[in-house]
Structure 1
Amino acid sequence: MTSTASAPSPEADRAGFGARTALVLVSLVWPAQLLSAIGLLAGNAQAQIAIHFHTTQIAWFTLLSSLVGTFITPFVMKAADLYGKKRVMVALTVLGLVGDLIAALAPSFAVLLLGRGIAGFYAPMAMLVYAMARDVFPPRLVGPASGLIGGGIGIVALGGPFLSGWLLDGAGWRGVMWFLAAASAVSLVLLLAFVPESPVRGERTPVDWIGGLLLGGGVTAAVYGVGRGAQWGWTDAKTLAFIVGGILAVVLFVVVESRIAHPQYEISMLARRPVWSVFLATSLLAGTVYSAGTINQLLGLMPKIPTISDGLGYTATKLAWIGAPASVLIVLASVVTGALARRFESRVLLAAGALLATVGYALSAQFHHTVPQLMGVGIVVALGVGMIVALVPVMIIEVVSPTEQARANGLQGMVQGTLVTVVTQMIFVVLAQDGTVLKGTQFYRDAAYTNAFWLAAGFAAAGMLSVALIPRLKRLDSAEVGQASL
């Protein structure tokens, strides 16, 4: 791959966050964290939606967008290389806005899922944002900017619950859907007005349609099979067909990519130990922390019904106040971690974040019945989450070149998105083992929440162990970053 950008000047390297740079940063933080806002607001709304439409299939309200995003990611990354990251980001935002409008107006659960599926085109946005930050910021600002973009999840976690409480308690779940549509429109305006086009381009080679379909389709099929496993049965022929067929498609993708002239992804990049080990650890940990929030949302917002439901029955606003201290800590931990990554090994920092997340989820399994318990264990989890989300973009920068950045972000995002979908579905499967269906709505007992938190702790522990596979990496200060188009 080639880049059309020249190396940044020493003056650009010494530049700080001026007014223009700050506007670009805000315009990148917004679309990246809109994904987090979608996850949080939609997660809080799913209890109302399940009751409104009398459905036991509410898991697909959040999973469908992930499936669509997973499928299109290979083609989005190729389009970004060919036509520019900004152009592709604008196109994805327009599609996301259309999907949000359909969901807001949906007269049935099926139409709601249709809207959520179209909105799934927005899913690869964060991967492009991180690649854009590397392209347009001077070298000394790439680390802090990436940390702030990732740490913006804390701002969402702080303000999002209060916003969702205000929307849900005042306007219901449709109010949430209308807000998401408005937020997508704001994202579109910011991108058009303030974000420059990336100077980095890939070679204009033919699109690898076969490779993209094998990878996107294979991963999507396997995830769909996992999602349907609880309903169809894990040994059912349809379940096995999707899962095994999806895995075989991914294997065939590897074979095809090693033989064609212009592959979607260079297998040689994936064969490098620093790359695959970082992909594995960051995807497993980020996938876990993004999925585990579902447990708290259901626990806090589901009603308390003797012998039927052991939800805490809080309002969305009360749940927001409970989570506020943890949200502040996510922001602080991510900002501090982004700065520390310039001085300390990122793999050590990632292991520390994974340890905190593991301990936090284990504590949550035992202590989730009162407000003080939720706030106390939430602080431990928040420190781990803040460190993990800040390090994901930083570590990818440390192991790939600028021309590999968009594709590397895309592939890591696919792995992470797949794990988010799988872990989320497994959480719902575990919850349902100690649940009851009443009038078409799925409710959960206390044992269900306990086991779900233990599942999250297990995945976080696996992520912590996977960090040991990462070799010593070059520090962020030594990585080739920043095309400085600002």
Structure 2
Amino acid sequence: MSADTSVIATLEPSKGKSVTTTATQPHGSRGTGRNARYALLLISLIWPAQLLSVIGLLAGNAQAQIAIHFQTTQIAWFSLSAALVGTFLMPFVVKAADLFGKRRVMIIVTATGLVGDLLAALAPNYALLLTGKALSGIYLSMGALVFAIARDVFPRGLVGPASGMIGGAVGLVALGGPFLSGWLLDHHGFRGVLWFLVAATAVSLLMLALFVPESPVRNPNRTFDWSGGLLLGGGLTAVLYGVGKGSSWGWTDPATLAFLFGGVLALVAFLIVEVTVSEPMFQPSLLRRREVWSVLAVTALLSGTVLTAGTITQLLALMPPIPTASDGLGYTATRMAVIGAPASVIILVAAALTGFLARRIDTRLLLAVAASATVVGYLLMAQYHYTPSQLAVTGTVVAVGIGIAAALAPIMIIEAVRPHEQALANGMQGMVQGIVTAVVTQVIFLVMARGGTVLQGTQFYRDAGYRNAFYFVAGLAVVVLISIVLIPRIKRLDEAEVGEAAIA
């Protein structure tokens, strides 16, 4: 043939039927230009997807300087305010994307987050800093929107690899984030971190505006279920806040119980409301489908577990060694970044391979590999975590699980739901994962604190605490491994309806 013929499978939004269009392209610059546009599109989606991880890493490391500068004992609100606002707004954001367009809502979300970042960077007092940080919490929903639009704007053959790369790019954050954080804090202080976040968000906004096309997948019914959104967002936020404050207030404290039970009651009321309204926030029928609820639950449990478990290793490495009080290794952040570099590379490789293998292998098997690697890795880490080489080797085993899990969650959701359900399903998975992360984090700290010591207001941990925390994470991964049997046979990635707005 004298020309390249590319067959792009698209979907007719109004009927949900497959349509095949054939575009004939001559050799040369046109194909090259199209590939360049796909590359720019991929980068433009990776950036906002992983910006949330960058924010968490940099802002978390800056907390100590912020607490000292503003002389506050309420530093926990620096992270908690954004998490609470983001959790509350997520149902509204993903529903708005379903109604008005994913790209349009992503740009609005990023612009709002940029205003919050600017406010935080310029804040003369802690109250204003928290206001800006809370406003930027709207960015929490970006992960759901990025994976949803990726399904729509890449052609069928690239959806899996692109989704895998977007999720697996967390390895880039793990590789370069600690070095960037150390340099910013050492040379520019916490203000340098805050201004870097302003610049990073501005770049994200620019790339979304220039290189990401709008998706044609919309819900034609413009009715907005405000009562359902308020009950869902408010219930999740109450539960998250209760879990977050439980360890300091006490798990039987009336305030803790009020938030937890109040949040659960709101979620029950949400389910009742969704059955009665004509256009619910989330279709109840979606969660009645086994392939959907099982994928959301199992992937949220695995992702929430592996992404939270790094807290144990970070504390182990960075806490100082104090006889009879602390069995930390006393490494610097830079040294820990070097130790973790091989694992970060493995995360990237595993995620990229997962995106390609998902087109050929049952994703349930890949999920089993991720859970198995997590089990083996943390069992090994429980026994071997005393030297840099031990941490580096065991960390690479765990990294296989992290890379596959990061790439597989969005891919399995693509396989389980229809295109017009993608943003809502991603939002559901993100909300469940947020609750899993909060609960697992609290349990990890409780496990580590047993037998630990408090000195001058700081909690230190003994080796038995770290070891038991590793065993706990391995146990959760075993639960994931067993739970995979709940997931029925679902469409392969190549069989799923994707690529609706592929660039011509």
TM-score by length of 1: 0.92
Assess if the C-alpha contact under 8 Å between 1:53 and 1:109 holds in 2: yes
Assess if the C-alpha contact under 8 Å between 1:43 and 1:294 holds in 2: no
When residues 114 and 462 of structure 1 are mapped into structure 2, their CA distance, relative to the original with a 3 A threshold, is farther
Q: Which residue of 1 aligns with 2:250?
A: 233
When residues 103 and 436 of structure 1 are mapped into structure 2, their CA distance, relative to the original with a 3 A threshold, is farther
User: Aligned runs of 1:86-165 on 2, under 5 Å?
Assistant: 86-106=103-123, 111-165=128-182
When residues 109 and 289 of structure 1 are mapped into structure 2, their CA distance, relative to the original with a 3 A threshold, is farther
User: Aligned runs of 1:331-346 on 2, under 5 Å?
Assistant: 331-346=348-363
- For residues 98 and 502 of structure 2, the distance between their equivalents in structure 1, rounded to whole angstroms, comes to 17
1:320 equivalent to 2:332? Answer no
The AA in structure 1 aligned to 2:408 is L
When residues 299 and 271 of structure 1 are mapped into structure 2, their CA distance, relative to the original with a 3 A threshold, is same
Q: Which residue of 2 aligns with 1:271?
A: 288
When residues 316 and 133 of structure 1 are mapped into structure 2, their CA distance, relative to the original with a 3 A threshold, is same
1:292 equivalent to 2:309? Answer yes
Shift of residue 169, structure 1, vs aligned partner? 3.4
Assess if the C-alpha contact under 8 Å between 2:299 and 2:409 holds in 1: yes
Assess if the C-alpha contact under 8 Å between 2:168 and 2:347 holds in 1: yes
Q: Whose radius of gyration is greater, 1 or 2?
A: 2
Shift of residue 4, structure 1, vs aligned partner? 9.9
Assess if the C-alpha contact under 8 Å between 2:87 and 2:431 holds in 1: yes
Q: Which residue of 1 aligns with 2:215?
A: 198
The AA in structure 1 aligned to 2:291 is P
- For residues 114 and 424 of structure 1, the distance between their equivalents in structure 2, rounded to whole angstroms, comes to 25
The AA in structure 2 aligned to 1:24 is L
Q: Which residue of 2 aligns with 1:25?
A: 42
Q: Deviations over 1:164-220 (max 9, x none)?
A: 232233334443332222211111111111111111111233210111111111111
Assess if the C-alpha contact under 8 Å between 2:215 and 2:501 holds in 1: no
SS at 1:9 equivalent: strand
The AA in structure 2 aligned to 1:192 is A
- For residues 436 and 15 of structure 2, the distance between their equivalents in structure 1, rounded to whole angstroms, comes to 32
Shift of residue 83, structure 1, vs aligned partner? 1.7
Amino-acid identity (%)? 62
User: Aligned runs of 1:349-364 on 2, under 5 Å?
Assistant: 349-364=366-381
Assess if the C-alpha contact under 8 Å between 1:281 and 1:463 holds in 2: yes
When residues 241 and 161 of structure 1 are mapped into structure 2, their CA distance, relative to the original with a 3 A threshold, is same
Judge which range, 248-257 or 363-372, deviates more: 363-372
Q: Which residue of 2 aligns with 1:468?
A: 485
SS at 1:329 equivalent: helix
Assess if the C-alpha contact under 8 Å between 1:330 and 1:382 holds in 2: yes
- For residues 153 and 370 of structure 1, the distance between their equivalents in structure 2, rounded to whole angstroms, comes to 25
Shift of residue 330, structure 1, vs aligned partner? 0.4
The AA in structure 2 aligned to 1:299 is L
The AA in structure 1 aligned to 2:97 is A
- For residues 141 and 421 of structure 1, the distance between their equivalents in structure 2, rounded to whole angstroms, comes to 33
Assess if the C-alpha contact under 8 Å between 2:102 and 2:214 holds in 1: yes
Assess if the C-alpha contact under 8 Å between 1:347 and 1:467 holds in 2: yes
Shift of residue 93, structure 1, vs aligned partner? 1.1
Assess if the C-alpha contact under 8 Å between 1:222 and 1:247 holds in 2: yes
The AA in structure 1 aligned to 2:493 is L
Shift of residue 50, structure 1, vs aligned partner? 6.0
Judge which range, 87-96 or 422-431, deviates more: 422-431
User: Aligned runs of 1:148-187 on 2, under 5 Å?
Assistant: 148-187=165-204
Shift of residue 43, structure 1, vs aligned partner? 3.7
When residues 206 and 246 of structure 1 are mapped into structure 2, their CA distance, relative to the original with a 3 A threshold, is same
- For residues 247 and 428 of structure 2, the distance between their equivalents in structure 1, rounded to whole angstroms, comes to 28
1:9 equivalent to 2:21? Answer yes
Q: Which residue of 2 aligns with 1:254?
A: 271
Assess if the C-alpha contact under 8 Å between 1:285 and 1:388 holds in 2: yes
The AA in structure 1 aligned to 2:21 is S
Q: Deviations over 1:435-479 (max 9, x none)?
A: 444444444343333333233223222222221210111110111
The count of corresponding residues between Structure 1 and Structure 2 is: 486
- For residues 24 and 452 of structure 2, the distance between their equivalents in structure 1, rounded to whole angstroms, comes to 58
SS at 2:169 equivalent: helix
User: Aligned runs of 1:300-319 on 2, under 5 Å?
Assistant: 300-319=317-336
User: Aligned runs of 1:430-469 on 2, under 5 Å?
Assistant: 430-469=447-486
Assess if the C-alpha contact under 8 Å between 1:3 and 1:200 holds in 2: no
When residues 2 and 263 of structure 1 are mapped into structure 2, their CA distance, relative to the original with a 3 A threshold, is farther
- For residues 81 and 471 of structure 2, the distance between their equivalents in structure 1, rounded to whole angstroms, comes to 25
Shift of residue 95, structure 1, vs aligned partner? 2.2
Assess if the C-alpha contact under 8 Å between 1:4 and 1:200 holds in 2: no
- For residues 129 and 151 of structure 1, the distance between their equivalents in structure 2, rounded to whole angstroms, comes to 13
Choose the corresponding residue for 2:430, options 413, 423, 432: 413
Q: Deviations over 1:329-384 (max 9, x none)?
A: 00000111111100110011001101111221222223222211110110011011
Assess if the C-alpha contact under 8 Å between 2:152 and 2:419 holds in 1: yes
- For residues 324 and 70 of structure 2, the distance between their equivalents in structure 1, rounded to whole angstroms, comes to 23
Q: Which residue of 1 aligns with 2:51?
A: 34
- For residues 310 and 124 of structure 2, the distance between their equivalents in structure 1, rounded to whole angstroms, comes to 28
Q: Which residue of 2 aligns with 1:218?
A: 235
Q: Choose between structure 1 and 2 for higher RCO, CA contacts under 8 A separated by at least 6 residues.
A: 1
TM-score by length of 2: 0.89
Pairwise CA RMSD: 2.6
When residues 12 and 31 of structure 1 are mapped into structure 2, their CA distance, relative to the original with a 3 A threshold, is farther
- For residues 419 and 32 of structure 2, the distance between their equivalents in structure 1, rounded to whole angstroms, comes to 20
Judge which range, 171-180 or 252-261, deviates more: 171-180
- For residues 12 and 353 of structure 1, the distance between their equivalents in structure 2, rounded to whole angstroms, comes to 40
Judge which range, 390-399 or 442-451, deviates more: 442-451
- For residues 192 and 5 of structure 1, the distance between their equivalents in structure 2, rounded to whole angstroms, comes to 30
Judge which range, 93-102 or 393-402, deviates more: 93-102
The AA in structure 1 aligned to 2:345 is V
Gaps of 5+ in 2: 1-12, 26-30
Assess if the C-alpha contact under 8 Å between 1:54 and 1:441 holds in 2: no
